[in-house]
Amino acid sequence: MGTLEVRNLVKEFRLGHGLRRSRLRAVDDVSFTLEAGKTVALVGESGSGKSTVARTLARLETPTSGEILLDGRSVSGSRSALRAYRHDVQMVFQDPFASLNPFHTVAHHLERPLQLHGVARGREAVAEQVRGLLERVSLTPTEAYAAKRPHEMSGGQRQRVAIARALAPGARFLVADEPVSMLDVSIRLGVLNLLARLQREENLGVLYITHDLATARHFSDEILVMYKGQVVERGPSDQVILDPQHDYTKTLLAAAPDPARHGRLRDEVRAELAGERA
């Protein structure tokens, strides 16, 4: 069925200059497996290392140590191995305003990966694939969207183009780094539901990186909680959210606003102040 596995991943960054050098261990011994047709969520606060995991998995960064295995085979750092790897593993970035080139049309954004990865040859075949990709991300009528440039579209539409572009090489695994946090709230769900549909119908494996615990729970099969570069808790989504074990997970959960608990903070503070006065 296909798996993307991370074993004992470590990523360090060098800091400072001259004699005052130090190393920052952004990812510290992280292991997990992403299966086709499943979604794994990686949650944690800013600086916890979740984006570094994403970038390393997409091989935008080279791991300091540890292994990445695609379908059980270790991925080497050679140029040809990486190109092959990127047929299968693609990334969707947080900011759809920055990740698309303002000079090019949607069609161009999709044609390039199709050609570079040898998915389609010849003008008609490529155009056919572009139409198919746009349909898969619900950007129809496809002719109209293919001709647009990024500034003519909303954030949600741009993110759909980014997803289509990631699918273009024939990706079986998507690494989605905060794919909806820059979007207006009322269109976030549409994009997440699109990812869920692709995962379901096309057997896509998705690594969903987010700080939003509620969508992490509803959107993924498994949740990994990262803190200071390490995975401190993991398990089936409902279990991690409804029955957290690690203190950090509990802190995160207590801090997350929840519409079902309206008035909670106000009442807590009032009770606290009343307690202090007494």
Partner 1 sequence: MTVPVLTAKGVSIEYRTTPVVRAVRDVSLTLHRGEILGLAGESGCGKTTFAYGLTRLLKPPAVLTSGEVVFHDRTGGDVDIAALDGEALRAFRWDKVSMVFQGAMNSLNPVITVRAQIDDVLTTHRPGMPRAERAERAAELLRLVGVDPARLDSYAHQLSGGMRQRVMIAMALALNPQVMIMDEPTTALDVVVQRGILREIMRLREQFGFAVVFITHDLPLLLEISDRIAVMLEGEIVELDTAENIYERPQHAYTRRLLESFPSLVGERGGFVRSGAAAGTSGTGHGPGSGEGPGPDAGPDAVPAGRADSAADTTIEGTA
# chain residues binding partner 1, by CB under 8 A:
55
Q: Which of 33, 138, 230, 239 binds partner 1 (CB under 8 A)?
A: 138
Q: For residues 237 and 239, what is the distance between their CA atoms, to the nearest angstrom?
A: 5
**Alpha helices (H) along the chain:** 50-57, 79-88, 106-116, 123-136, 142-146, 155-167, 185-201, 213-219, 237-242, 247-255, 264-277
Residues 198-257 contacting partner 1, CB under 8 A: 200-201, 211, 213-215, 217-219, 241-242, 251-257
Give the nearest distance from C-beta 57 to partner 1 in angstroms.
23
Give φ, ψ of 70 to 5 degrees. -105, 120
Region binding partner 1 by CB under 8 A among candidate stretches 88-96, 104-112, 166-174, 192-200: 192-200
Region binding partner 1 by CB under 8 A among candidate stretches 8-16, 49-57, 195-203, 228-236: 195-203
Nearer to partner 1 among residue 66 and residue 190 (C-beta): 190
- C-beta separation of 44 from 3 below 8 A: no
- Token pair recorded at residue 6: 């991370």
Task: Please compute, for residue 215, the number of CA atoms within 13 A of its CA located in the half-sphere on the CB side.
Answer: 20
Residues that bind partner 1 (CB under 8 A): 45-46, 137-140, 153-154, 156-157, 160, 184-190, 192-194, 196-197, 200-201, 211, 213-215, 217-219, 241-242, 251-266, 268-270, 272-273
